[in-house]
Amino acid sequence: MMELLFLGTGASVPSRDRATSCIAVRSGSDIILMDCGEGSQRQLMISPFSFMRIKTILITHLHGDHVFGLPGLLQTMSLSGRKEPLTVYGPQGIKRCVEAFMEVTEGTTVYPLEVIEVSGDEFFPVGDTFVSVFKTKHNTTSVGYRICEQDRPGKLDKEKAISLGISEGPDMSRLKNGITVNGVKPEDVIGPAIKGASISYTGDTEPTQTVIDGAKGSTVLIHESTYMESERNLATEHSHSTCIQAAETAKQCGAIFLILTHVSNRYDDLQEVVDSAKTVFPETYAARDMQMYIVKSDSLSLKE
């Protein structure tokens, strides 16, 4: 299970109701932050998540509405006495971006900070999850990310194990740990592995095959939806996607659920955006600031 918290869901500029792009994913006690637009640390402070528990920050691209909150958050962590290391991942230019931010604001960190540039083919662990990177298509260098839980061992059929002569206690534990006991193999009494949940996030992008490939089979696809389909020409001009294009990508990559974010402030009625996308992909939702979802391998539920 992962907790998915939308801290900022607007496009380009903040509004009264929506901050700029920032999404937090919590697995266990570790938090991964995806993008860090203006106001992100304030959103974190009024959320159930502690910014001090952030283990990694994943930046999709260097446009201001995705990074302007980064220097403030990094420096606030120092002022709050952070000691744990922090890693920031992002596309080419993220190192220079962070260095420039910290230099011009005379900011420092009292904790180990590592900034790593990625191109779209990387795979690395973060806590008890794994993150993979895929290329996206925007009007600047950009990437998307997929966060995956590890698969869990299948369920032990205790009654079957007992019928095969296994007694409760140490022998049952050995079977759970993959050890054959008295000729009974673990696969004889343990079901198939339980698939972990996965969350893919595109950042800003036009429709592209690399997103379909990178997000294939995701439990949840979080896809930008800057424009309605009636303004597809603007989406193409600015290297963004429409809600219909996002829905088509979700369908093609085999996602179970689609959550639309980065919706232009010109659209007051988010339900209209969702209803349009649902004509292509029925399991579509719109992200709203401060909403939290519980993501399991085959289910998505809104946490009240």
Strands, sheet with 257-261, edge to edge from the N-terminal-most edge strand: 123-126, 129-135, 143-149, 198-201, 220-224, 257-261, 284-286
In a shared domain, residues 87 and 67: yes
Cα angle, residue 17 at apex, residues 12 and 22 outer, rounded to 5°: 50
Asked about 298 being catalytic, the answer comes back as no
Residue 139: HSE in the Cβ half-sphere, 13 Å Cα cutoff: 8
Q: Of these residues, 17, 35, 65, 204, which one is catalytic? A: 65
In a shared domain, residues 133 and 246: yes
Q: How many domains does the chain have?
A: 2
Question: Mind listing the pLDDT tens digit for each residue in 28-39?
Answer: 999 999 999 999
Q: What does the alpha-carbon distance between residue 115 and residue 228 come to, in Å, rounded to a whole number?
A: 36
Is residue 55 over pLDDT 80? yes
Answer yes or no: are the C-beta atoms of 279 and 252 closer than 8 Å.
no
In a shared domain, residues 252 and 162: no
Domain span at residue 25?
2-152+193-303
Is residue 304 over pLDDT 80? no
DSSP secondary structure string for all residues of 217-266: T-SEEEEE--B-GGGHHHHHHTT--BHHHHHHHHHHHT-SEEEEE-B-TT
In a shared domain, residues 238 and 126: yes
Number of neighbouring beta carbons within 10 Å of residue 14: 17
Question: Mind listing the pLDDT tens digit for each residue in 84-109?
Answer: 999 999 999 999 999 999 999 988 89
In a shared domain, residues 109 and 254: yes
DSSP secondary structure string for all residues of 124-158: EEETTEEEEEEE---SSS-EEEEEEEPPBPPPB-H
In a shared domain, residues 277 and 182: no
pLDDT of residue 277: 98
pLDDT level of residue 176 (50, 70, 90 thresholds): confident
Name residue, tokens 């925007």. Answer: 138
Q: What does the alpha-carbon distance between residue 189 and residue 196 come to, in Å, rounded to a whole number?
A: 21
Question: Mind listing the pLDDT tens digit for each residue in 133-175?
Answer: 999 999 999 999 999 998 877 888 888 989 989 888 888 888 8
Question: Mind listing the pLDDT tens digit for each residue in 104-130?
Answer: 998 889 999 999 999 999 999 999 999
In a shared domain, residues 166 and 143: no
In a shared domain, residues 60 and 169: no
Q: What is the CATH number of the domain that holds 100?
A: 3.60.15.10
Percentage above 90 pLDDT, the chain: 84
Residue 213 vs residues 53, 209, 249, 276: alpha-carbon distances, Å: 31, 6, 10, 24
* Closest C-alpha to 43, from 80, 72, 86: 72
Which helix (H) or strand (E) segment holds residue 171: the answer is helix 170-176
**3-state helix, strand and coil shares in percent for the chain, rounded to the nearest 5:** 30, 30, 45
In a shared domain, residues 123 and 246: yes
Q: What does the alpha-carbon distance between residue 137 and residue 209 come to, in Å, rounded to a whole number?
A: 9
Q: How much is the average pLDDT of 230-259?
A: 98
- Parallel, antiparallel or unpaired: strands 220-224 and 2-8: unpaired
Question: Mind listing the pLDDT tens digit for each residue in 63-89?
Answer: 999 999 999 999 999 999 999 999 999
In a shared domain, residues 176 and 145: no
In a shared domain, residues 178 and 261: no
Cα angle, residue 278 at apex, residues 277 and 279 outer, rounded to 5°: 90
Q: How much is the average pLDDT of 189-206?
A: 92
Q: Which residues contact 209 (CB under 8 A, 6 or more apart)?
A: none
Which helix (H) or strand (E) segment holds residue 87: the answer is strand 86-90
pLDDT of residue 187: 87
pLDDT of residue 168: 86
Q: Residue 17 carries which DSSP code? A: S
In a shared domain, residues 50 and 112: yes
pLDDT of residue 108: 87
